[in-house]
Structure 1
Amino acid sequence: MKLSVVVPTLNESKTILKVLKVLDSHELIHEILVIDDGSTDNTPKILKAFKSKKKFTVLTHLSNLGKGAAVRWAFKKITGDFVIIQDADLEYNPKEYKKLIEKAGKNHVVYGSRIISSNPKAYLRTYLGNVLLTQFCNLLYGTQLTDSYTCYKLIPTKIAKSLDLSSNGFEIEAEITAQLAKKKILLLEVPISYKPRSYEKGKKIKAKDAIKGILTYVKLRFDSLQF
């Protein structure tokens, strides 16, 4: 299996070096695509050292366009058999890739669920927001997920490239799940570890992003209806 890893990053100078070193040493990874989404800290300087490395491709947005825009650009470039998104803050541990890969298949997607495992919760509202978003997704699409907004979705590249994605922000997670569900793609889950960081340490997703996620689920569920 050739695994492509997509790493969207914005002002992550405190963690990006550690993340990329971990990925560089990971035996299962075929390629690593890092998308600098308009960083204004030292992130671009750190990324320069990886541009010449064989596994790495560094893409740069001149301004901040959002996680979704970064993911969409990277999905066009991937060459591996499967793709997974890796946030640049190490809330998600790349050691967990093995769990997802063990369940991998050409015709289904494997989600890494933070809910199945007993993981620490930095903010109750963030945890509850994720649960509510997932239940809303299950209600609209008939899925049986516990964590629709997980970053870890192991997607066959053929399926990833078939998605007609347009989201620019964090709602890309909702759009990916909704489109997979509409395509009747089987969605499996495995438990993963998760170490959330605080907003003080740089966590970026906000309540408004949850609202955008809900609107994305609704829009895609009923986009074929004529009013």
Structure 2
Amino acid sequence: MASFNTLSIVIPVYNEARTIHEILDRLRVLELTGGIGKEIILVDDCSQDGSSEAINRYAAQHPDMPLRLLRHAVNQGKGAALHTGIREATGEYVIVQDADLEYDPEEYNLLLKPILKGFADVVYGSRFMGGNPHRILFFWHSIGNKMLTFLSNMFTDLNLTDMETCYKLFRRDIIQGLKLEEKRFGFEPEVTAKVSRVPKVRIYEVGISYYGRTYAEGKKIGWRDGFRAIYCIIKYGLLRG
């Protein structure tokens, strides 16, 4: 059995003042298997709705919570926020958590299982495998996600079912050792391409739930991001660096 002390949870934040307390509530009561501790790093990417103020109020109400807030002076994109949070992480492992409510932190323990059994260095949480609940939303989004995953797999020679998933758990030395460039939603295909080339890396995938949002509920990714993802898959699939 592998063991470690702390999981760093990196949360990119952009205009999430209305719901940020809900994800923080879930993280506050979350019990990680094996008594693993939590380091919660929020990166506010120049929100305009008072997200930082909402986070500071929450932190003041829960002073024992291991929470750090970092801020960008100008909006740079989700990927840039992740770069900042990953760089500042100190836990042995790092996981990405969106600030919305589409993914359930209770399922961190599913992703931790192959880590703690000593099998994995990186674990992806797939929305397209397993018997966990999934909200039924957009047909073409699901087709687009599967096509992007298929194209990514062609370049990486992996057999992932969900490259675009938010839930990616990394050994910290691996993720901090990658030179990441994409500042927006290109983070997913870029990090997948680059982690696939880490010598002797062991990548696993587990099924997770998905509680998707509509655009009216605050979903931000759009069709332009899909074209950028295709560009990034090809660019980082061909670029060996």
User: TM-score w.r.t. structure 1 length?
Assistant: 0.94
Structure 1 counterpart of 2:18 = 14
Structure 1 counterpart of 2:44 = 36
- Counterpart of 1:126, as a letter, is H
- Counterpart of 1:31, as a letter, is E
Other structure's SS at 2:95 match: strand
Structure 2 counterpart of 1:114 = 127
Moved more, 199-208 or 176-185: 176-185
Q: For residues 34 and 212 of structure 1, do their structure 2 counterparts lie closer, same or farther at Cα, with a shift above 3 Å needed?
A: same
1:138-195: per-residue Cα shift (whole Å, max 9, x none)?
1111110000011111100011111110110011011110101122522211000111
- Counterpart of 2:98, as a letter, is D
Other structure's SS at 1:5 match: strand
Other structure's SS at 1:90 match: coil
Contact 1:171–1:209 (8 Å) recurs in 2: yes
Structure 1 residues 108-187: aligned runs within 5 Å:
108-117=121-130, 119-184=134-199, 185-187=201-203
- Counterpart of 1:195, as a letter, is Y
In structure 2, how many angstroms separate the alpha carbons of the residues matched to 1:56 and 1:50?
10
Structure 2 counterpart of 1:68 = 79
Structure 1 counterpart of 2:113 = 102
1:44-77: per-residue Cα shift (whole Å, max 9, x none)?
2201124563501100112211010000011111
In structure 2, how many angstroms separate the alpha carbons of the residues matched to 1:43 and 1:79?
24
Q: For residues 38 and 204 of structure 1, do their structure 2 counterparts lie closer, same or farther at Cα, with a shift above 3 Å needed?
A: same
Structure 2 counterpart of 1:93 = 104
Alpha-carbon shift at residue 107 of structure 1 (Å): 5.5
- Name stretches of at least 5 consecutive residues in structure 2 with no aligned partner: none
1:24-45: per-residue Cα shift (whole Å, max 9, x none)?
2223342000011111113122
Structure 2 counterpart of 1:26 = 30
Structure 2 counterpart of 1:222 = 238
**How many pairs does the alignment contain?**
225
- Counterpart of 1:87, as a letter, is D
Contact 1:50–1:56 (8 Å) recurs in 2: no
Q: Do structure 1's residue 209 and structure 2's residue 225 form an aligned pair?
A: yes
Q: For residues 208 and 168 of structure 1, do their structure 2 counterparts lie closer, same or farther at Cα, with a shift above 3 Å needed?
A: same
In structure 2, how many angstroms separate the alpha carbons of the residues matched to 1:91 and 1:200?
14
1:6-38: per-residue Cα shift (whole Å, max 9, x none)?
010111122101111211222334200001111
Structure 1 counterpart of 2:89 = 78
In structure 1, how many angstroms separate the alpha carbons of the residues matched to 2:85 and 2:74?
16
- Counterpart of 1:110, as a letter, is V
